[in-house]
Structure 1
Amino acid sequence: MMASKVLIQKRLASAAAAHSTGLSSAVETKVSKLPNGLTVASVEANGPVSSLVLAYRAGSRYQQPDEAGLVHHLRNNVGKDSANYFGVKLLWQIGSVGGNVVATHGKDVLAVQTNVLRDNSAIAVSILGELAKPALKPWDVLDANTTLASDLQYQQPFEQVVDLVQRAAYRNGSLATPVNAQPHELGKVTFKQLEAFSNSRLVSGEAVLLGVNVEHSDLLGYAQAQTAVGEGRGKEAAPSPYIGGDIRVAGPSSLAHVVIAGEGAGLKDVKAVAVQKVLAALVGQTSEVKFSASAGSGVVGAAVQKAANQRPVGISAVDVNHAETGLAGVYIVVEGQYAEPTVRAAFDGLKQVSSGVDGAVLEAAKSNAKVNALLSLDNTADLAFESAAEALAHGGVTSPLELAEEIGKVSAEDVKKAAERIVKKPSVAAFGRVNQVPFVDQL
């Protein structure tokens, strides 16, 4: 799985069955903007399951320095009472039509998502608006605080090291703000802070209502009639330029989890995103075969596998896109005592890509990237979230078919320049057994 797919943190508010749809030959995207600033977007692939998202520009980058962990606290209040209904009633109603609810937050976005059979989408979207704006009653906030520690306990090393590399890459910028609350911050956010943040960020001018496999007119009708999301517009996020650097945290593991990354593409630049998808395919991704000992395919994957000399090692591309910037690189998992030669091999592989690749290798990577783009239609939940994030970034939505077309236009020079940005100014983050991981100036 690509890194970009698992960077978000999730809390299940209700469970139900929802399965992915098949690839459709025709995909239509539509975007409308209401006078109150609310963006309404749809991706119609004619599938039987609708994925609906109400997302806000309210990720951790919008927190103030004295609000550390606030968005994590806010996310865990989804499923509680709204201003108009009891939370348990909302969850029961969404469950009664076979839906589930997932609250998601990242650096840029806070979102509430539901997946239901297409015939029930009209009911689900009306409930979604209430769930996405919790009333934040003091007793509900206290109750939600008890779930925060569990979130940290279930964090995977991968999630931690990706958060670390962004702290190294963006330093004191807004994108360096951790996604989750830190242990010393749990329960320290007051309901008044949550209420103030909600009133300033969970507003129509900072929101998008997006549906996959749903009629655009149905979404528009609800958006025009809804009253749950108040009108308003929040402040722009503070700039967060890429700087680069090192960070490492020792953890309770014999494994070293390492990310080498450089500045990547922002969602506002669709062509650059397509280039980064091809670069990710060239870097490599873990084998799709369960329990495979292979380090995966790709130029960098092959270099790492050779250096590992049949020792266990895992590798995957890092492909992260924020609104105006991103990260591209490689994620490695290896026994701590073998970290140095493995990390050096990965960086040498990136250098090889930055020197240029031959046509056959590039075409294979482009084909791989196209397949990955088209297969996103088979997971409407992820597609809905990623499309909502894109709509918030630049007001438009790129369908998987359109992204595949952009990938087809990527040249060898485009990929070379993208790889050069990594090797010229890399960031390195490590978690676990880190004593053998080289620093940036040693690569």
Structure 2
Amino acid sequence: MATNITRINLLRPVAARGFATCAPAPIGGTGDYEVKNTTLPNNLVVASAENESPISRISIVFRAGSRNETPDNAGVTHALRICAGLSTKNSSQFAITRNIQQAGANLTATSDREIIAYTLEGTRKAIEKTLPFLTEVVTQQVFRPWEVSDNVPRQRLELATRPPQLRAVDLLHKAAFRRGLGNSLYSAKYNLGNVSSETLQHYVASNFTSGRGAVVGLGVDHSQLVQYAQTLSLEPGEGSTTPSPYLGGEIRSDKGGELAFIAIGGQGAALKDSKEALAFAVLQRAQGVGPQVKWGSVDNGVLSKAIGGTGTTQFAITALNASYSDAGLFGVLVAAPGISAGKVVEAAAQVLKGGSLSDADISRGKNQLKAAILMDNESGSNAIRLIATQAALLGSAKSPSQLAAEVDSVSAADVNAALKKVSSGKLSIASVGNLRSVPFLDELK
């Protein structure tokens, strides 16, 4: 319980060793560290790394993303994320907010299609003071009806400010998977305000269980984090996640305007097949994800070159790659003027349906992927998100340096096999905006 957590000296031994006896570390911490993994008897996963940073982060994660929603509680994960930090059984919303801010810490809630994560970050002393409030927010929710209803306007604002490219990707998932992973990250407009306190409580009770969770730390001592995880009041149980196979389809949302935003995709790789997942990650970089030089305008990716050959100059394009625990989605996101979007979409589809990539493109993709993994690790927020995703979905986590080293084992044959998987399967397409020239799915050659 929260009253006992203050007795756990989670960070002091690390601080004494890290700052009194070791050479000074970079302000953001070291980038090469070991990730330690432990699974408790109740199947709660604990993963942590000591990066010697003055800023520590602790995240409690559950496999409770939007893929677990049903037609009866659609939008519950959107409401749950918005309601993070409301009053709990032992603390008011004001007390939680004031104490965390007074200590100089920060508490955030993030969600995607598979996980919901509550992350506390701050200096080591601040984390010690505010850790009981993280426990309260995660394990002692009450969801008072008047507080839940007060947050509906924020949901409306998030829906109103969604960029069209995000909506295109959201619709692509719906076209590709229909249910499960096809569920939106956002509540539907017609269901705003209909997610009750009882619905939130039932969803939390069903999904916030020890067998579906993980406690992750960055800049903390692993043994002390394990001790903290053992104090969490979580119901036992694994629950179940309905499989979400790739099916394929098409969704069009004609909104007018000057631009069209089109997402095209095919079947990708699941995270449980790490070798294939890395091959698709390399394929994404080889296809192109935009200029790799700051303020640069040149993209040497295969997609950019192919579309440049059509004579169209006004467009933006990037390869998409989303790997989930049991499925994946690989494709392309395009933005172009409505009058010329058709040519861009057809050229992009030809690349997805193409034959094989050259060794030079694959080598460039591997180098870019390794650089991206290591540079993302320079941000503590990105690093703990990477560890948390692995711990929650795979049961253990690897360090960024380990993942970067595994990229070298990906062969050209692996990457071309990934491309063949996309090209030989059924494509999906979702489009938003001015669709006057955007072809339908059955018109793509």
Q: TM-score, normalised by structure 2?
A: 0.88
* Deviation for aligned residue 1:22: 4.5
The answer to whether the 8 Å contact 1:256/1:434 transfers is yes
* Deviation for aligned residue 1:291: 6.6
* Deviation for aligned residue 1:85: 0.9
Q: Distance in 2 between matches of 1:46 and 1:276?
A: 33
Q: Distance in 2 between matches of 1:270 and 1:23?
A: 27
Which position in structure 2 is the counterpart of 1:272?
276
The correspondence for 1:235, drawn from 234, 239, 242, is 239
Which position in structure 2 is the counterpart of 1:332?
334
* Coordinate RMSD, CA, aligned: 2.0
The answer to whether the 8 Å contact 2:265/2:331 transfers is yes
Which position in structure 1 is the counterpart of 2:370?
370
Which position in structure 2 is the counterpart of 1:225?
231
* Deviation for aligned residue 1:377: 0.9
* Deviation for aligned residue 1:329: 1.5
Work out whether 1:155 is the aligned partner of 2:162.
Answer: yes
Q: Distance in 2 between matches of 1:290 and 1:404?
A: 22
The correspondence for 1:175, drawn from 170, 178, 181, is 181
Q: Distance in 1 between matches of 2:393 and 2:168?
A: 25
The answer to whether the 8 Å contact 2:283/2:362 transfers is no
SS in 2 for 1:131: helix
The correspondence for 1:285, drawn from 274, 284, 289, is 289
Question: Aligned residues, how many?
Answer: 417
Which position in structure 2 is the counterpart of 1:11?
none
Matched ranges for 1:87-102 at <5 A: 87-102=93-108
The correspondence for 1:44, drawn from 18, 41, 50, is 50
The answer to whether the 8 Å contact 1:320/1:327 transfers is yes
The answer to whether the 8 Å contact 2:283/2:415 transfers is yes
* Deviation for aligned residue 1:47: 2.7
The answer to whether the 8 Å contact 1:145/1:187 transfers is yes
Work out whether 1:426 is the aligned partner of 2:433.
Answer: no
Q: Are the structure 2 counterparts of residues 21 and 115 from structure 1 closer, same or farther at C-alpha, using a change threshold of 3 Å? A: farther
Q: Distance in 2 between matches of 1:206 and 1:144?
A: 27
User: Which moved further from structure 2: 184-193 or 132-141?
Assistant: 132-141
Query: Unaligned regions of 5+ residues in structure 1, if any?
Result: 1-19
The answer to whether the 8 Å contact 1:42/1:215 transfers is yes
2:260 partner amino acid:
A
* Deviation for aligned residue 1:185: 0.5
SS in 2 for 1:337: coil
1:187 partner amino acid:
G
Q: Distance in 1 between matches of 2:321 and 2:332?
A: 8
SS in 1 for 2:398: coil
Q: Distance in 2 between matches of 1:124 and 1:373?
A: 30
2:406 partner amino acid:
E
Q: Are the structure 2 counterparts of residues 433 and 293 from structure 1 closer, same or farther at C-alpha, using a change threshold of 3 Å? A: farther
Q: Percent identity?
A: 31
The answer to whether the 8 Å contact 2:55/2:122 transfers is yes
The answer to whether the 8 Å contact 1:53/1:388 transfers is yes
Matched ranges for 1:38-437 at <5 A: 38-133=44-139, 134-171=141-178, 173-227=179-233, 230-288=234-292, 293-294=297-298, 296-309=299-312, 311-352=313-354, 355-424=355-424, 425-437=426-438
Q: Are the structure 2 counterparts of residues 292 and 370 from structure 1 closer, same or farther at C-alpha, using a change threshold of 3 Å? A: closer
The answer to whether the 8 Å contact 1:285/1:297 transfers is no
Select the structure of larger CA radius of gyration. 2
The answer to whether the 8 Å contact 1:316/1:331 transfers is yes
Which position in structure 2 is the counterpart of 1:441?
442
The answer to whether the 8 Å contact 1:204/1:232 transfers is yes
Q: TM-score, normalised by structure 1?
A: 0.89
2:175 partner amino acid:
A
SS in 1 for 2:310: helix
Query: Unaligned regions of 5+ residues in structure 2, if any?
Result: 1-25
The answer to whether the 8 Å contact 1:277/1:407 transfers is no
1:281 partner amino acid:
R
* Deviation for aligned residue 1:266: 1.7
The answer to whether the 8 Å contact 2:59/2:117 transfers is yes
Which position in structure 1 is the counterpart of 2:16?
none
- Can you list the C-alpha shifts for 1:3-43, whole angstroms capped at 9, x where unaligned? xxxxxxxxxxxxxxxxx964735321111122223211113
